[in-house]
Amino acid sequence: MEKPKVGISSVPILNAFAFGNTKRDSRVCVTGEILSRLNDDGLRAVLGHETAHIRHRDVVV
């Protein structure tokens, strides 16, 4: 699977989510708040979790 594009939302909450219609056009979004609070390992875990949603086609269902 190709790496998904990642967006950053400026809403003041801790959140990350995956969205899209197909694996190819899916994206991951994280908030600025989560970026400011997590260390690199935590951020890798969150991005890995959201990427797994894309890989398992959860974003399509």
What's the pLDDT at 49?
97
Per-residue pLDDT of the chain (61 residues; tens, 9 = 90+): 788 999 999 999 999 999 999 989 999 999 999 999 999 999 999 999 999 999 999 998 7
Q: Is 2 a catalytic residue?
A: no
Q: What is the pLDDT at residue 19? A: 95
Report the pLDDT value the prediction gives residue 60, as an integer from 0 to 100.
Answer: 84
Catalytic residue among 28, 46, 50, 59: 50
Q: Cβ-count burial of 12 within 10 angstroms (0-12 exposed, 13-18 middle, 19+ buried)?
A: exposed
Domain ranges of the chain: 5-55
Give the pLDDT of residue 37. 96
Q: Does domain 5-55 have CATH number 3.30.2010.10?
A: yes
Tell me, what's the pLDDT at 61? 76
Whole-structure pTM value: 0.89
